[in-house]
Amino acid sequence: MQAQGTERIAFLGGGHMARALIGGLLRERIAPAQIRVGEPRAEAREALAGELGVEVSPDNRHALAGATLVVLAVKPQDATCALQALYASGSAAPSAGAGAAAQPPVLLSIAAGLTIAQLARASPPGTPIVRAMPNRPALLGAGITGLYVPPQTPPRARALAELIGRAAGRAVWLRTEDELDVVTALSGSGPAYFFLLAERLARAAQALGLPADTAELLAAETLYGAGVLAHQVAAAGPGAASLAQERRAVTSRGGTTAAALQVLEEGGFDALIARALQAAAARAAQLATGTGIPAAAAPEDAGHGSAPSGTREATPASVYGPGHRL
Ligand SMILES: NC(=O)c1ccc[n+]([C@@H]2O[C@H](COP(=O)([O-])OP(=O)(O)OC[C@H]3O[C@@H](n4cnc5c(N)ncnc54)[C@H](OP(=O)(O)O)[C@@H]3O)[C@@H](O)[C@H]2O)c1
């Protein structure tokens, strides 16, 4: 990969996730001048330019000019429209050798559900394509991102995906594209599950007599403290510690925690969680159908380096284990 200082990164879409990732890239010592954003909403443009010092344009073609990496950060249904600009921007970056052909920018999509085959159909031939599924704690550099590249994707695309993974926090390489739907259900949507749990705990404590603000403070700080402990488990690596061990450490036999956990178990907690995750993963897969881009790839898409029609191939095993920050 060319030196990080020479990358030119274009974001299509300047909403919540773009803001989180750009903040992370700046922490990774990417200069604001290396980043441009295409964003239709004036309010969002002003906020991004003011807070992060990057150039933001209402014209995607301007944002894409000279880009080496394009981050697709729009809702799945806006992807076709946003990607149109790739055809008109002349965004191919100059390559190292004199006289060598310009390289097309790497396209990295964070849009839930949209497949490599669909992205290939909606972008110019030869575009290297990577998918990433970050989550909202990326805002604080505390995110976890699932990354997937099809086989035969150039190494520079993998390196750029890892740059985005580092910007968001920590990242893990996935073996198949299908795993991205599960990652979307688990960590992509996951922060909301923990917030819901904390909200409901606070509400239940209020019903037991605590003032609302005290209950919310206790629930939020408990979620934070448990999160820090869980983070230590993840950092320790496989075999060194586990979430189950942490749970057992606060569950004395016949005690208060055991009484609550028994109620959850008897109430079908496991089955409910399993159903919730299945619903989220199914919805992620379904999102691809509302984009206007056919889900199955045509044979002519093969030149994009994408998975062949209807298939999702495995990436050579390259999963970053716990404790390995990209
Ligand atoms: N939020 C999360 O926690 C999360 C986590 C993982 C992945 N993602 C994925 O990240 C993507 C963005 O999510 P988000 O939460 O950041 O959404 P968001 O806040 O709505 O940001 C998307 C932005 O893109 C703009 N946009 C719409 N059409 C565009 C176009 N043609 N060209 C350029 N910009 C355009 C939107 O403007 P308008 O508002 O005017 O349409 C909006 O400002 C989604 O695909 C989502 O699946 C989100």
pLDDT for residue 91: 57
pLDDT for residue 12: 98
* Rounded distance from Cα 35 to ligand 1 centre (Å): 17
Host H or E run for residue 243: helix 243-249
Coarse DSSP helix, strand, coil percentages of the chain, rounded to the nearest 5 percent:
50, 10, 35
Rounded Cα gap, residues 45 and 55, in angstroms: 9
* Rounded distance from Cα 215 to ligand 1 centre (Å): 33
Contact predicate 139/132, CB 8 Å:
no
pLDDT for residue 185: 97
Does 47 sit in the ligand 1 pocket, CB within 6 Å? no
Rounded Cα gap, residues 284 and 288, in angstroms: 7
* Rounded distance from Cα 135 to ligand 1 centre (Å): 13
pLDDT for residue 238: 82
- What's the sign of the alpha-carbon dihedral 117, 123, 129, 130? negative
From first to last of the 326 residues of the chain, give the pLDDT tens digit: 556 788 999 999 999 999 999 999 999 999 999 999 999 999 999 999 999 999 999 999 999 999 999 999 999 999 999 999 999 865 555 444 444 457 899 999 999 999 999 999 999 999 999 999 999 999 999 999 999 999 989 999 999 999 999 999 999 999 999 999 999 999 999 999 999 999 999 999 999 999 999 999 999 999 999 999 999 999 998 888 899 999 999 999 999 999 999 999 999 999 999 999 999 999 998 887 877 787 754 444 444 433 333 333 333 322 343 333 33
pLDDT for residue 3: 63
Does 10 sit in the ligand 1 pocket, CB within 6 Å? no
Q: What is the position in ligand 1's atom list of the atom closest to the CA of 112?
A: 47
- CA distances to 67, 91, 121, 150, 236 from 102, rounded to whole Å, are 11, 9, 21, 22, 44
Does 63 sit in the ligand 1 pocket, CB within 6 Å? no
Domains present along the chain, CATH in parentheses: 4-180+289-304 (3.40.50.720), 187-282 (1.10.3730.10)
* Rounded distance from Cα 13 to ligand 1 centre (Å): 6
SS3 (DSSP) at 3 = coil
pLDDT for residue 103: 84
Nearest CA owner, ligand 1 atom 45: 111
* Rounded distance from Cα 175 to ligand 1 centre (Å): 26
pLDDT for residue 302: 41
Q: Virtual CA dihedral for 148, 153, 159, 164, nearest 10 degrees?
A: -40
What single letter denotes the amino acid at residue 284?
A
Contact predicate 19/53, CB 8 Å:
no
pLDDT for residue 296: 59
Does 17 sit in the ligand 1 pocket, CB within 6 Å? yes
* Residue from 83, 71, 59 nearest 20 by CA: 71
Rounded Cα gap, residues 196 and 198, in angstroms: 5
pLDDT for residue 102: 73
